[in-house]
Amino acid sequence: MTSAVGTVERSRIWAHPALGLHAVVDAGGSVRLGAPGQDWACLVPLVEVTVTGHGRMWSGERFIETAVGDRLAYRGHETVQDGSLERTTIRLADPVTGLAAEVTLEASSGAGFLRARVRLVNEGTTALRLESVTTLTLGGISDADGGLDGLTLHWADNDWLAECRWRRAAFRDRVVPLSRSAHGHEGRGCFERYSQGSWSTGRHLPVAALTDRDGRAWLWQIESSAGWRFETGEREGAAYVALFGPDEAHHQWHHTLAPGQEFHTVPAALVRTEAGGLDAAFGTLTDYRRSIRRDHPDHRTLPVIYNDYMNTLMGDPTTERLLPLIEAAGTAGAEIFVIDAGWYDDDAQGWWDAVGAWEAAPHRFPGGIQEVLDAIGRHGMTPGLWLEPEVVGVRSPLAHTLPPEAFFQRGGVRVTEHGRHHLDLRHPAARAHLDAVVDRLVGEWGVGYLKLDYNINVGAGTEGVVGAEGVRGADGVPGADGVPGAEGVDGAVSGVGTGGGLGTGSGLGSAGAGLLGHHRAHLDWMNSLLDRHPHLVLENCGSGGLRMDYAQLAVAQLQSTSDQQDPLRYPPIAAAAATAATPEQAAVWAYPQPDQSLDEIAFTLTGALLGRVHLSGFLNRMSGEQFDLVRSAISVYKDIRPEIGEAHPFWPLGLPSWEDTWIAHGLRGEESTFLMIWRRDLGGNLGVGHGGDGAVLSGPEQNGPVDTTRTLTIPHLSGVHVHPTVLHPTTADTIAEWNAADGNLTVSLPRANTAVLLRLSAGSPD
């Protein structure tokens, strides 16, 4: 296809009809990505690169309009079909610096998602210092009327105990009109969100969207645990989006490419849907996430997990305390039993700053930990252990026996954070240590589940340089973050060899590049564990949900969604967890206690039933009636879990706000629709203290009129006869009535602080 605007001819070199996007090259060789029919000026160069000495053409807060990006010219492209996946590589080059770029675009026929990554190669004669690189740029986004007034911006704030808090604002509230025609230039600012330090989601999720009033959506995610940033703003009357890994301004990242060397960006994905708004877009993103992750039987079997930590033993396990819990958990229906933090603690000064050797504490297990692990097996469960592999406590012997280069360093000084040092998994000694630990726990002890936690934010990263003995990928094996294995783990400095393995460069690299190198080595290590132990299940936990990204989740089977201990505060996290992880990977705590009422037990159990159940609580101290309610919830979960792994999430009341009284989250399957509804009274106190005694105080209903009913619109069932069935709990006195003509479900929960799981079974259309 060619088109002409004035005297400039443009040719389409790539198109994806399901996304409504194409890549077009002009007569000067510039390639840009956008929707057909968009004004060329509102589009953005396919790759934007900030290089020291070659900055931006328009200075400001934006990382687009770079000099190198403007010069990168089309060289050619090729498309390869791999089953249903179409992989197109577009080749560009800068005639001034000699920097070459290969942009890989992956998409499936008919699917509304696109995955991108960029490979840069220095084909020039002088070293180039990279400061920022886009993985994906997209311009020409507008509402149905061709403007920006109808666009809404969506993003998610994230914090410890307060994950997945989605926010929305009119695009024009964040990117104001500036009368470009009066000034001859765009503004200098943009709307941006980015990570800080080594908790990739410690501030925000690497996921955001634009929607319009007609239900169209543009949804994106960045797949990095080592720094990421996105920006959106106005360009020539339309919106643009630019997605980045780490950069110098926000992550202390720069990367020096000597002649012949190369660098790979982190992957990113874009979803575009024509109708259905965020629900439809997240459904497509869920399909995409399922397509990129490592295959594992856990994604299909969804075993029930009991973990002894939350509101229960709280890091103080012993044989005496564990054995009754093991028996009760097995009877309740758990299939995995995880001994959480503290199992290695045999230190009078506490375990926090002494971890690293991962040996069982003799005084906690007088008969040996194997006695407890065997008891787990006898009760029909797989044994699991908590591990925080990337840290070594400052009082651990390993802090002195491992070489200094095996730890994060900045300014030549070993990094210390909250009583811990941080291992650099590019170093063979660090990796050999952890390999020996896991092979002992799994191969000798029979552990089948590892909860891999990460409880410090170590900052920008490490300036330490790992030499040629560092980690390389296996030939032809794709890395977890899309980097081909043969090119190995990117190094931090100019010593990196052309193969991408860690080179022998001298001096210090940038801290952000060191973090990226460690991050890629960490993913490679996790993959190697699963290669050696294919049935091992890995849970990704970052002090709850503070490293909840699809670099990790393409490898790990589960994701901890929060450390939140207050049952009343968990529902908005549980309801929105499917925006950050597939439902079958999103682990939600259910911590019923013997001091709770039946309503309170049902409330905490119900919230986990559309994800992965992380059961906890003193089940062994419960009355028969209380315990039967727990067993009933687990039985319901086992009945519906075959449908969870293929279902798509939706939110009939919209994505929840932190203080919402009513919250609803559903899963749309092939056979059934499941709907979870919570009614909270935040004026009451259903909170649980940190003492581990299970004490619960219930507050009275709020004064004044009580709203006991909500009507929810479920468009995909409109016009269909539906039979609402209460699955759990039957004690909630729930009334659910369906109006097929309007596609409305009216639900009554007469008591505050109750929740219900419904199955909506469809009949024949009206």
Report pLDDT digits (tens) over 136-147.
999 999 998 999
Structure-token pair, residue 626: 């209380």
Of 400, 507, 392, the closest CA to residue 458 belongs to 392
Are 277 and 337 part of one and the same domain?
Answer: no
User: What pLDDT, on the 0 to 100 scale, is given for residue 58?
Assistant: 86
Query: For residue 484, what pLDDT band results from cuts at 50, 70 and 90?
Result: very low
Question: What is the enclosing helix (H) or strand (E) of 575?
Answer: helix 571-576
Mean pLDDT, residues 280-309: 98
Task: Determine, yes or no, domain membership for 671.
Answer: yes
pLDDT attached to residue 347: 80
The answer for residues whose C-beta is within 8 angstroms of residue 127's C-beta and 6 or more apart is 256, 257, 258, 259, 494
612 and 679 assigned to the same domain: no
In this structure, the answer to whether residues 270 and 145 fall within a common structural domain is yes
C-alpha span between 288 and 292 (Å, rounded): 7
Q: What is the mean pLDDT of residues 503-519?
A: 77
Look at residue 474 in the predicted model and tell me its pLDDT. 31
Cα gap 59→65, rounded to integer Å = 9
The verdict on residue 474 lying in a domain is: no
- Residue 126: Cβ within 10 Å count: 11
Evaluate if residue 688 carries a pLDDT over 70.
no
Average pLDDT over residues 134-160: 96
Q: What is the mean pLDDT of residues 221-247?
A: 97
- Does the residue 614 lie in any domain? yes
CATH of the domain at 710: 2.60.40
The arithmetic mean of pLDDT across residues 248-258, rounded, is: 98
Report yes or no on 62 lying in a domain.
yes
In a shared domain, residues 143 and 41: yes
Co-location of 566 and 651 in the same domain: no
How much is the pLDDT for 109?
82
Q: Are residues 183 and 257 in the same domain?
A: yes
Mean pLDDT taken over the chain = 91
Mean pLDDT of 412-430: 98
pLDDT digits 0-9 by tens, 81-91: 998 899 999 99
Residue 372: CATH number of its domain: 3.20.20.70
Look at residue 421 and tell me if it is in a domain: yes
Q: Report yes or no on 478 lying in a domain.
A: no
Residue 419 resides in a domain: yes
Determine the Cα–Cα distance for residues 532 and 412; give it in Å rounded to an integer. 36
Whole-angstrom Cα distance, residue 41 to residue 727? 55
Residue 406 domain-assigned (yes or no): yes
pLDDT at residue 659, rounded to an integer: 97
For residue range 258-278, list pLDDT tens digits in order.
999 999 999 999 999 999 999
Residue 728 belongs to what domain range?
647-765
pLDDT for position 339 = 98
Q: Which residues of 656-683 are buried (b: 16+ CB within 10 A; e: fewer)?
A: beeebbbbbbbbbbeebbbbbbbbbbbe
What digits encode the pLDDT tens for the residues 307-317? 999 999 999 99
- The pLDDT, as a whole number, for residue 179 is 79
pLDDT, one tens digit per residue, over 352-378 is 999 999 999 999 999 999 999 999 999
Same domain, residue pair 287 and 307: no
Residue 270 shares a structural domain with residue 287: yes
Distances (CA, A) of 450 to 317, 427, 559: 16, 22, 12
CATH classification at residue 25 = 2.70.98.60
Q: Which of the listed residues 615, 636, 657 is the one where a domain comes to its end? A: 636
* Closest CA relative to residue 135, chosen from 46, 262, 25: 46
Mean pLDDT of all residues in 52-80: 96
Three-state DSSP at 147 gives coil
Comparing 488 with 249, the larger pLDDT belongs to 249
Q: What angle do CA 351, 357, 362 make, to 5 degrees?
A: 65
- Whether 217 and 505 have beta carbons less than 8 Å apart is answered as no
Same domain, 7 and 156: yes
Number of domains observed in the structure of the chain: 3
* Residue 159 in tokens: 């914090």
* pTM of structure: 0.93
The answer, yes or no, to whether residue 235 has pLDDT greater than 60, is yes
Q: Of 751, 404, 424, which is closest to residue 600 (Cα–Cα)?
A: 751
- Where does a domain end: 610, 636, 662? 636
Tokens of 623: 């009355």
pLDDT of residue 705: 57
Phi and psi of 68, rounded to 5°? -65, -45
Q: Are residues 195 and 272 in the same domain?
A: yes
- Residue-wise pLDDT for 530-556, tens only, equals 999 999 999 999 999 999 999 999 999
Whether residues 36 and 155 share a domain: the answer is: yes
pLDDT of residue 764: 53
- 315 and 285 assigned to the same domain: no
Domain end: 603, 636, 669, which one?
636
